[in-house]
Amino acid sequence: MAKQINLTLKVWRQNRGQEGKFETYEAKNIDTDASFLEMLDVVNDELTLKGIEPIAFEHDCREGICGCCGSTVNGKTHGSHERTTLCQLHMRHFEDGQNVVIEPFRATAFPVIKDLIVDRSGLDQIIAEGGYVSVKTGNAPEASTTPIKKEMAEAAMDAAECIGCGACVAACPNGSAMLFTSAKVSQYALLPQGHPERAQRVKNMVGKMDELGFGNCSNEYECAVACPKGIDVKNIARLNREFIKASLTSEK
């Protein structure tokens, strides 16, 4: 049954081009059936009416699929709940009177824009290097021409579930985007449609990742723990195999 709780929030506030700092706010009478973002809505309404600028945070679908939301809550990306984005984290997982520290996703490649909002456009740039099959509209053969083993299709779908939230980057001590990148590389390595471009794809995407200041992967696997979609670290192993294969072939 739902009840109401009170919390003390320590929230990171930062304006564009300035240093940031923590501010303390009380979150009062929060319904435990509310989501974490709905709790922030309640706090923001109060701040607004007190003449304080509301806390900026990114969100859109509030269903765990768009990948917009994400903050580090008490040191954990998206809060502490397994396979759950921040928008799907519910207040029933918090205790009355608890202190809650809320910070933006921190990584060298994710500069803060304002408060809890960071710039994750690096992830788009990695995709632009080859996170697709280069087929033009109109080129496609009849869909049933190529049967694909069910297990392969399922494994590709497991990898394709990544929502691009960037939690893996923020959780990684090196700020690496390896889990994110490997998920895309894997999807196309597993499907025949992805094969013509596979060597180029992995080289270009990894190259871009390095160029943008994402760190190296040192097999800490914090990323997979943090991932709200359960993207598996075996994708990283697959990326490494793809990369080695690509480097061995002279193919460009």
Partner 1 sequence: MKLDAKIPEGPMAEKWTNHKFKVKLVNPSNKRKHKVIIVGSGLAGASAAATMSELGYQVHCFTYSDSPRRAHSIAAQGGINAAKNYPNDGDSIYRLFYDTVKGGDFRSREANVHRLAECSNQIIDHCVAQGIPFAREYGGYLDNRSFGGAQVSRTFYARGQTGQQLLLGAYGALSKEIKKGGVTMYTREEVIDVVVIDGQARGIISRNLVTGELSRHEADAVVLATGGYGNVFFLSTNAMNCNASAAWRAYKKGAAFANPCYTQIHPTCIPVHGEYQSKLTLMSESLRNDGRIWVPKAKGDKRPANQIPEDERDYYLERKYPSFGNLVPRDLASRNAKMVCDEGRGVGPTGNAVYLDFAEAIERLGKDAIVAKYGNLFEMYNRITDEDPYTTPMMIFPAVHYTMGGLWVDYNLMTSLPGLYAIGECNFSDHGANRLGASALMQGLADGYFVIPNTINDYLASNKLPKVGTDHEAFAEAEKAAQDKLDKLLAVNGKRTVDDFHKELGHLLWENCGMGRNEKGLKEALEKIPKIREEFWKDVNVPGSADDLNQALEKANRVADFMEFAELMVKDALMRAESCGGHFREESQTDEGEALRNDDEFCFVGAWEFAGLDKEPILHKEHLEFEEVHLTQRSYK
Is residue 84 within 8 A of residue 35, CB to CB? The reply is: no
Picked from ligand SF4, ligand FES, partner 1, none, the partner binding residue 149 (CB below 5 to 8 A depending on kind) is partner 1
Burial per residue of 31-51, b for 16 or more beta-carbon CB atoms within 10 angstroms, e otherwise? bbebbbbbbbbebbeebeeee
Q: Is 236 in the site for ligand SF4 (CB under 6 A)?
A: no
Residues 79-118, one symbol each (x = binds ligand FES by CB under 6 A, - = not), give ------x-x-------------------------------
Q: What is the DSSP string of 120-137?
A: -HHHHHHHHTTSS----T
Token look-up 């997982």 returns 93
Q: Is 65 in the site for ligand FES (CB under 6 A)?
A: yes
What does the block give as tokens for 160?
Answer: 């394709």
Q: Is 78 in the site for partner 1 (CB under 8 A)?
A: no
Picked from ligand SF4, ligand FES, partner 1, none, the partner binding residue 69 (CB below 5 to 8 A depending on kind) is ligand FES
Question: Could you give the CA distance from residue 189 to residue 218 in angstroms, rounded to a whole number?
Answer: 23
Among 229, 233, 236, 242, binds ligand SF4 (CB under 6 A): 229
Q: Which is nearer to partner 1, 100 or 133 (CB)?
A: 133
Is residue 79 within 8 A of residue 73, CB to CB? The reply is: yes
Is residue 200 within 8 A of residue 132, CB to CB? The reply is: no
Is residue 46 within 8 A of residue 40, CB to CB? The reply is: no
Residues 6+ apart with CB under 8 A from 49: none
Q: Nearest distance from residue 106's CB to ligand FES, in Å?
A: 18
Among 5, 34, 68, 231, binds ligand FES (CB under 6 A): 68
Q: Is 131 in the site for partner 1 (CB under 8 A)?
A: yes
**Which residue spans within the chain are E strands per DSSP?**
4-13, 21-31, 72-73, 76-77, 99-103, 112-114, 117-118
Q: Is 18 in the site for partner 1 (CB under 8 A)?
A: no
Among 105, 180, 188, 214, binds ligand SF4 (CB under 6 A): 180
Q: Nearest distance from residue 227's CB to ligand SF4, in Å?
A: 3
Among 9, 37, 112, 179, binds ligand SF4 (CB under 6 A): 179
Residues found near ligand FES in the complex (CB under 6 A):
59-62, 64-69, 85, 87
Residues found near ligand SF4 in the complex (CB under 6 A):
162-168, 179-180, 183, 226-229, 231
